[in-house]
Structure 1
Amino acid sequence: MKREDFFDNARVLLIFLVVFGHVIQPSTADSKPLMTLYQTIYLFHMPAMIFVSGFFAKGKWDLVYFKNLMKKIIMPYVLFQLLYNVMNYFEGQSAKTMMEPNWSLWFLLSLFSWHLLLAVFKRLPKTLGLLLAFGIGLGVGYIDAIGHVYSLSRTFVFFPFFLLGYHVNKQWLFHLLDRTHTKLAGILIISIVGLHLFLDYPVKLLFGSASYEAMGVPVLGIVSRGFIYLGAIILGFLFFTVVPKQAVTYSKMGQKTLYVYLLHGLFIQTMRRLELFQIEGLVTLLGAIVISGSLVLLLSSPVVTAFFKPLIELKTVKQREWRQLLGSYYHQSNERT
């Protein structure tokens, strides 16, 4: 198994689910099947993505590493927070402070915090650290003041998956994945989707963004979150089981999923505000799949990533690189004709 290919494949499939979930979200209120699909996706896709981030975390803590985190995470966050605020301004909405992440930008703030927390938790015995992380994730729901500000709630709720990814034994993980039957995993995934048809719980519980009181489960919220943790681990593992373990046509796109994550929101928010798309049946659901896949393809393409590279990676693209890039597209178009 090529681990790089496996995780690149996982990243691409997960970012597709992120985009697809955002595309179908406005239509879920009026459709139980769509809400079922939405809840199933949200049960595991962010925990799985966070697990992958933790898997590749270096766990270092020095000035160079801190500066690198600031450059790769905080600077793009600041730039896109400003960009969203400009969009909000033209929509007549109030601007948010840097401590109130717009929409999906919470992930960047939390990712930065997870790296900081890792510097502390990596010093603890593995089992103790994981138990403490899950315990904090369960307990913070009783703090009424916790919420969207600095993405604090999500930081603590989802940190256990980051820590789990960091601590997981690589050989054990890949050995277990290889021993699990792919078809059986697929059947179990479909069964979990079907189970959600009969479950009724606040979808906000899956977001991890507010206190139990704010979500309407002031007493039993800790039990609900415990089951969500369990479901996320089981469904996440089943997902990794069906991920292709070798290079496929979309593997290279896995290196550019941050571009898709940051840029797709601009398209989705515009679609929502202009009410350009509504799912009303199987045909439009297939349309949502096509739209989501097309956005992933577009936003991870060499031209788009080169154009936004100064904004996301704070790196300039030289004229020579542009000429080579555009030249390759020109030759490819000539070959097709």
Structure 2
Amino acid sequence: MERNAFFDNAKVILIFLVVFGHMIQPFAADSNTINAVYTWIYIFHMPAFIFLAGFFAKGIGDMKYVWNLFKKILIPYLIFQLVYTFYYFGIGKPDWDSSILDPQWSLWFLVSLFSWHMLLIVFKKIPMGFSISAAVLVGIIAGYFGEIGQTLSLSRTLVFFPFFLTGYFLTVSHVMVVKKHFMKIAAVAVMAMFFGLVYFMPDIDTGWLLASQSYSDLGADNEGGIIRFTVYIAATLMTFSIFTFVPTQNLGWITGLGAKTLYVYLLHGFIVQFLRQFDILSVNQWYDFVFIIIMSALIVIVLSSQFILTLTQPLVELRTKKLRALFK
């Protein structure tokens, strides 16, 4: 598909929020404001990112398609699973030891991304309304089974799949409905409402937003399905509310960052986990919070730089085109 400035801009905003969310996570328990910002971001940032991944998943599902996905997604997962394991051991992270079936930290997304493409082979043959409804039902039912956990990211795969599937079925014209003027007014109301909710209810368990635990683990054996359905509604409303304010025009180098978000996603963990392990950051004053915002933006920019892309392309894309061009 041809690059579209709106979608690239959306990816830039979302990858910044991924990095920023990971940066402020250690401080969420110490401040009601930071906790509210953190929880508010987590309502939508991964559902929105997954929606965009589904939007661009237009493959046909034959064996060549599956093999290409294996090379583009699973092999980088295996490489980064090994690299992160050694890195965590090197910096003294206590839970560094992880099997190949238990993705290190944010690498769950790669395992789920491959699985979503595989599920799509079946679900795309079902009419949109029935297909998405079935995916939502599966995501709700999954929470009742404690056996469906973090191994191979199975819980997140099933719970987040409706967003991927919705992205697949929608077209550009469908998404652009959010740019109508009246939608902006509604979007402001939605975003303000949910921020107020998480601010005045700081005890909301963010485990509901991470989608990796069963209802039993979250202390809601009976009402878990209702809560998850509510979370689905909240994430959907917030996702399209955020899209309402994404610029449609090309913003030059900023829009260009949208083509490099996978690099940022895979690499930012080396920086974030280092900062966490050695307690380098702290938030004691308002300007500490501003500093983290600036630092998060700089991480996105630096990890999208030509220098980093050239060095890491063999790991991320299994290609050496940029390195060969450099030596030439």
Same fold by TM-score, threshold 0.5 exceeded?
yes
Query: Which position in structure 1 is the counterpart of 2:16?
Result: 16
17-26 or 224-233: bigger deviation? 224-233
1:176 Cα offset (Å): 4.0
The Cα offsets for residues 84-106 of structure 1, whole Å up to 9 and x where unpaired, read as: 11023332545211110000000
Task: Please name the residue that 2:315 is paired with.
Answer: 311
TM-score, structure 2 normalization: 0.94
Alignment of 1:80-119 (within 5 A): 80-90=80-90, 91=92, 93-119=95-121
Higher mean C-alpha deviation, range 239-248 or range 179-188:
179-188
Contact kept, 8 Å, 1:100 with 1:148, in 2: the verdict is yes
Q: For structure 2, list consecutive stretches of 5 or more residues without a partner in the other structure.
A: none
Cα distance change of structure 1 residues 182 and 323 upon mapping to structure 2, 3 Å threshold? farther
Equivalences for residues 8-157 of structure 1 within 5 A: 8-90=8-90, 91=92, 93-157=95-159
Structure 1 stretches of at least 4 aligned residues deviating more than 6 Å after TM superposition: none
The one-character-per-residue Cα deviations of 1:83-131 (angstroms, maximum 9, x if unpaired) are 1110233325452111100000000000000000000101112111111
User: Which residue is 2:306 aligned to?
Assistant: 302
SS in 2 for 1:307: helix
How many equivalent residue pairs?
Answer: 323
Report the AA paired with residue 161 of structure 1: F
Query: Helix, strand or coil: the match of 2:320?
Result: coil
Query: Partner residue of 2:216?
Result: 213
**Equivalent position amino acid for 2:119 in 1:** L
Distance (Å, rounded) in 1 between the aligned partners of 2:96 and 2:209: 27
Give the conservation status (yes or no) of the 8 Å contact 1:3–1:245: no
- Unaligned ranges ≥5, structure 1: 325-337
Deviation readout 1:280-337 (Å, 9 max, x if unpaired): 231111011011000000001111111111110011035663269xxxxxxxxxxxxx
* 1:322 matched residue in structure 2: 326
CA gap 1:3/1:73 in 2 versus in 1, 3 angstroms: closer
Cα deviation for residue 145 of structure 1 reads: 1.2
Residues 118 and 318 from structure 1, CA distance in 2 versus in 1: closer, same or farther, beyond 3 angstroms? Answer: closer
Deviation digits for residues 120-171 of structure 1 (CA, Å, limit 9, x no counterpart)? 1011121111110000111100001111100000000000000000011332
Amino acid at match of 1:46: M
The Cα shift of 1:252 comes to 0.4
Does the residue aligned with 1:47 lie in a helix, a strand or coil?
Answer: helix
1:193 aligns with 2:200: no
Conserved 8 A contact 2:144-2:216: yes
Q: Name the CA shift for 1:196/1:65 in 2 (closer, same or farther; >3 Å).
A: same
Q: 1:233 — aligned with what?
A: 236
Query: Quick one: structure 1 residues 67 and 297, their matched pair in 2 at CA, closer, same or farther if it must change by over 3 Å?
Result: same
Q: Is the 8 A contact 2:310 2:322 kept in 1?
A: no
**Take 2:244 and 2:55, find their aligned partners in 1: how far apart are those partners?**
16
- The change in CA–CA distance for 1:288 and 1:132 in structure 2 (over 3 A counts) is same
- Shift of the 313–85 alpha-carbon distance from structure 1 to 2, 3 Å rule, reads same
Q: Distance in 2 between matches of 1:107 and 1:43?
A: 16
In the alignment, which residue of structure 2 is the partner of 1:293?
297
How far off its partner does 1:64 sit?
1.1
Deviation string for 1:150-209 (max 9, x for gaps)? 000000000000000001133232134334454653454234212211223211111000
User: What pairs with 1:208-287 in structure 2 (closer than 5 Å)?
Assistant: 208-249=211-252, 250-287=254-291
- 2:190/2:237 contact within 8 Å kept: no
Name the CA distance, whole Å, in 1 between partners of 2:324 and 2:220: 58
Deviation track 1:199-229 (CA, whole Å, cap 9, x = no partner) reads 2321111100010111222221111111110
Q: State the shift of 1:67 in Å.
A: 1.2
Secondary structure of the 2:4 match is: helix
- What residue number does 1:202 align with? 205
> TM-score, normalization: structure 1?
0.91
